[in-house]
Copies of this chain bind each other. A is one copy, B any other.
Amino acid sequence: MGRRTVTMSDVAREAGVSVMTVSNVLNDRSNVGADTRLHVLEVVDRLGYEINLTARRLRSGRTGTVGLIVPRFDLHYYGELASLISDALAADRMHLVVEQSGASRERELSALSLARLQQYDGVLLGAVGLDMADLDRIHPDLPIVLLGEQDVPDRYHRVQMRNVAGARLATEHLITCGARRIAVLGGKLTAPRPEMATYRAKGWAGALADAGLDPCPDLVIPLHDYSIAEARATITDVLAAGLKIDGIFAVTDEVAIGALAGLHDAGLHVPDDVQLVGFDNLDISAHLAPGLTTIDPDRPTMVAEALRLLHRQFADKNAAPEHIVSTVSLVTRGSTRN
């Protein structure tokens, strides 16, 4: 029943040693004899003692956990990313916990409050809607690595995706495969500040321009939440409104999946009538019918680099910020006529 949780001094008393010795044993410090160590461990086990991480953290500062802040829990991209990071951290005996920054700005600020972030040894900040000013406010003495597309103050360590290059690659591929009227689904030509949608639209426009095609604004189809359902409904709408296209660059694979469904609804065949390229190379994308041609952001490398930057900051609080840009590659599958 309501028995109090066992504390370190309970163990110490029971084992007939000082609290410090228990602490020393549990932290594998060298100043404790072999038999004492065994005895303490036996008592720890017998009493079922478990360390209070909160107290340890308050005193020592180290927590052994890294936080990953993602915009939404249900974006597949971040689920896959979190998995990779978690595995990589386990090798260093660290632990990953994921938080959602949330849709609303209020919730985003609350998730990103210094108070919350300080609970971690380091933080990986997935693409967020914060502007520079917000990021400047959280200026903690805390290792942070930004993952994502937004422009951030230089003093941040950062792993960025080649958004523009990737979008260009995708669009060029569509052109090579014969598409001429290529829409960018989920793209935006302008936004209060640069974000994924604008970068990827920029790559799209660049590829079109280079090929002598017109990146006309009709072909830029914005989205709000980039959900599959929204993408499907939007494609249905624009087709019904009479938009003629023979290619779609969807800004994410999820958007592409919605587009695929919308095209199917409209009786259009992929890739014969309309070719389609996504961005992210989700696990699922290889298993759609047709398989989705997409841009692979090389997540394993992104993750490895991000963790390297984090460890660099662990080792040296004042390590000079690095700015890594990951490579992207095209993965061709059945949704384009290769």
Contact = CB atoms under 8 A, between A and B. Distances in A.
A183 interface: no
A1 B258 CA distance: 47
A83 B96 contact: no
Contacts of A232: 287
Contacts of A308: none
B97 A99 contact: yes
| Tally of this chain's copies | 2
Interface residues of A, number: 60
A152 interface: no
Contacts of A80: 73-74
Contacts of A261: 287-289
25 contacts: A2-B141, A48-B137, A50-B114, A50-B115, A50-B118, A51-B115, A53-B119, A54-B54, A54-B118, A74-B82, A76-B79, A82-B100, A83-B100, A86-B100, A90-B102, A97-B97, A97-B98, A97-B99, A98-B98, A227-B283, A229-B283, A257-B287, A260-B289, A261-B288, A261-B289
Interface of A: 1-3, 5, 48, 50-55, 57-58, 72-76, 79-80, 82-83, 86, 90, 95-100, 102, 107, 110-111, 113-116, 118-119, 137, 140-141, 227-229, 232, 257-258, 260-261, 264, 283-284, 286-289, 317-318
